Structure 1
């Protein structure tokens, strides 16, 4: 079973990285899935992902229940709706458009209502010279 989790985790990481460059493929859910798989399959791979220079802090904050930064929520919501509206404009099937709309509403509701917003500490302001 550990092998299955590790393979699924590696595939999720690959899809997450590809999602950085393809607007319709989400990055965050795949990285969260990879983290969950690695947590069950390999302590070493899980540690690697959580210490990754790009994804690590983001995943650690999520796993520890602190949430994601406000800027990330805004960017994710904007990209989600741009992608969904673009896809809905290209699809002529009303049922599929409704499914895309329901997906967008569901993801947005979860992100803004149930996913905590990470409060970053204010940086010290440099003294002003008078």
Structure 2
């Protein structure tokens, strides 16, 4: 039963990561890293395909080894946060616009304190 849940979670994370390729505010790499985590517990063959992938494999390995996020990834997240804040300023009213700002500050601080590969 647990393997099945990890397997389904891996596919769900991979689907969200795939959507992130086309939707600028949805992150891709974190979902692919989550998919690799789930597949490591349910399908070693699928995990191996992700780890050996030329685009995502280095990010997965850097995260596993050091909890590292590339500088490019950090900047991509920061830009996505900025776009989200701009949208919040446009569509949300006080005090609701503070929630995305708080989320960005907390998440952005955490992301920028991660080591780089």
TM-score of the superposed pair, with normalisation by structure 2: 0.86
Q: Is the 8 A contact 1:2 1:40 kept in 2?
A: yes
* Bigger helix share: 2
Aligned length: 116
Instruction: Return the offset for 1:72.
Output: 2.3
Aligned equivalent of 1:116? 115
Q: Is the 8 A contact 1:88 1:100 kept in 2?
A: no
CA distance in 1, matches of 2:28, 2:85: 15
Aligned equivalent of 2:65? 64
Greater CA deviation, 73-82 or 56-65?
73-82
Instruction: Return the offset for 1:20.
Output: 1.5
Consecutive unaligned residues in structure 2, runs of 5 or more: none
CA distance in 2, matches of 1:91, 1:69: 32
Greater CA deviation, 84-93 or 56-65?
84-93
**RMSD across aligned positions (CA):** 1.7
**Structure 1 segment 27-106 matched on structure 2, within 5 A:** 27-65=28-66, 67-92=68-93, 94-95=95-96, 97-106=97-106
* Correspondence 1:107 to 2:79: no
Secondary structure of 1:52's aligned partner? coil
Consecutive unaligned residues in structure 1, runs of 5 or more: 119-130
Give 1 or 2 for the bigger CA radius of gyration: 1
* Structure 1 pair 20–88 and aligned structure 2 pair: CA distance change class (3 A): farther
Secondary structure of 2:41's aligned partner? helix
Question: After TM superposition, what 4+ stretches of structure 1 lie above 4 angstroms from structure 2?
Answer: none
CA distance in 2, matches of 1:43, 1:88: 44
Q: Is the 8 A contact 1:23 1:83 kept in 2?
A: no
